[in-house]
Structure 1
Amino acid sequence: MAFGAVTSSTAISASFSSHSLEQTKVSQLGSYQPVNWCPASTVLNVSRKRSSCVKALNAEPKRNDSIVASAATLLASEVVQKVEAEVEAEDYEKLALELENASPLKIMDKALQKFGNDIAIAFSGAEDVALIEYAHLTGRPFRVFSLDTGRLNPETYRLFDAVEKKYGIHIEYMFPDAVEVQTLVRTKGMFSFYEDGHQECCRVRKVRPLRRALKGLRAWITGQRKDQSPGTRSEIPVVQVDPVFEGLEGGPGSLVKWNPVANVQGTDIWKFLRTMDVPVNSLHAQGYISIGCEPCTRPVLPGQHEREGRWWWEDATAKECGLHKGNIKDGNVNGNSSVAVQANGTTTVADIFNSQHVVSLTRPGIENLIKLEDRKEPWLVVLYAPWCRFCQAMEGSYVELAEKLAGTGVKVAKFQADGDQKPFAERELQLGSFPTILFYPKHSSRAVKYPSEKRDVESLLAFVNTLR
Structure 2
Amino acid sequence: MAFAVTSPSRASSAPKIASSLSSDLKVPCIGAFQPSDRPHPTIINLSTRRASAVKPVFAAEARRTDSVVPLAATLSASGTEKAVRENVVVEEEEKEDYEQLAKELENASPLEIIDKALAKFGNDIAIAFSGAEDVALIEYAKLTGRPFRVFSLDTGRLNPETYTFFDTVEKHYGIRIEYMFPDAIEVQALVRNKGLFSFYEDGHQECCRIRKVRLLRRALKGLRAWITGQRKDQSPGTRSEIPVVQVDPVFEGMDGGVGSLVKWNPVANVDGRDIWNFLRAMDVPVNPLHLQGYISIGCEPCTRPVLPGQHEREGRWWWEDAKAKECGLHKGNLKQDGSVQQNGSAKTNGLAKISDIFESQNLVNLSRTGIENLLRLGNRKDPWIVVLYAPWCKFCQGMETSYLELADKLAGSGVKVAKFRADGDQKAFAKSELQLGSFPTILFFPRHTSQPIKYPSEKRDVNSLLAFVNALR
CA 1:14–1:446 in structure 2 vs 1: closer, same or farther (change >3 Å)? farther
Most deviating of 188-197 and 351-360: 351-360
Partner of 2:11: none
Any gaps of 5 or more consecutive residues in structure 1? Answer: 1-9, 26-42, 342-346
Name the CA distance, whole Å, in 1 between partners of 2:388 and 2:293: 32
Give the partner amino acid of 1:360. Answer: R
Q: Percent identity?
A: 65
Name the CA distance, whole Å, in 2 between partners of 1:417 and 1:230: 15
Match among 349, 360, 372 for residue 368 of structure 2:
360
Name the CA distance, whole Å, in 2 between partners of 1:76 and 1:21: 8
Residue 436 in 1 paired to residue 441 in 2? Answer: yes
Contact 2:305 2:315 (C-alpha < 8 Å) held by counterparts: yes
Name the CA distance, whole Å, in 2 between partners of 1:317 and 1:454: 20
Q: CA RMSD in A?
A: 4.8
Superposed displacement of residue 125, structure 1: 1.0
Secondary structure of the residue that 2:217 maps to in structure 1? helix
CA 1:430–1:204 in structure 2 vs 1: closer, same or farther (change >3 Å)? farther
Residue 243 in 1 paired to residue 232 in 2? Answer: no
CA 1:421–1:396 in structure 2 vs 1: closer, same or farther (change >3 Å)? closer
Partner of 1:64: 65
Structure with higher Rg: it is 2
Secondary structure of the residue that 2:66 maps to in structure 1? coil
Any gaps of 5 or more consecutive residues in structure 2? Answer: 9-20, 32-43
Most deviating of 303-312 and 454-463: 454-463
CA 1:214–1:440 in structure 2 vs 1: closer, same or farther (change >3 Å)? farther
Residue 202 in 1 paired to residue 208 in 2? Answer: yes
Residue 232 in 1 paired to residue 232 in 2? Answer: no
Partner of 1:467: 472
Partner of 1:34: none
Superposed displacement of residue 144, structure 1: 1.4
Superposed displacement of residue 95, structure 1: 0.6
Partner of 1:28: none
Name the CA distance, whole Å, in 2 between partners of 1:389 and 1:306: 12
CA 1:165–1:458 in structure 2 vs 1: closer, same or farther (change >3 Å)? closer
Q: How is 1:340-359 mapped onto 2 (pairs within 5 angstroms)? A: 340=349, 358-359=366-367
Secondary structure of the residue that 2:65 maps to in structure 1? coil
Most deviating of 241-250 and 445-454: 445-454
Contact 2:57 2:126 (C-alpha < 8 Å) held by counterparts: no
Q: How is 1:28-107 mapped onto 2 (pairs within 5 angstroms)? A: 46-47=47-48, 54-57=55-58, 59=60, 61-66=62-67, 67=69, 68-69=71-72, 78=89, 81-83=91-93, 86=94, 89-107=95-113
Partner of 1:448: 453
Secondary structure of the residue that 1:65 maps to in structure 2? helix
Partner of 1:284: 290
Contact 1:300 1:306 (C-alpha < 8 Å) held by counterparts: yes
Partner of 1:152: 158
Give the partner amino acid of 2:232. Answer: K
Higher relative contact order (CA 8 A, sep 6+): 1
Superposed displacement of residue 457, structure 1: 9.0
Contact 1:425 1:431 (C-alpha < 8 Å) held by counterparts: yes
Q: TM-score, normalised by structure 2?
A: 0.70
Q: TM-score, normalised by structure 1?
A: 0.70
Contact 2:316 2:325 (C-alpha < 8 Å) held by counterparts: yes
Give the partner amino acid of 1:333. Answer: Q
Match among 219, 225, 245 for residue 219 of structure 1:
225
Give the partner amino acid of 2:139. Answer: E
Name the CA distance, whole Å, in 2 between partners of 1:100 and 1:402: 41
Superposed displacement of residue 231, structure 1: 3.9
Contact 2:387 2:420 (C-alpha < 8 Å) held by counterparts: yes
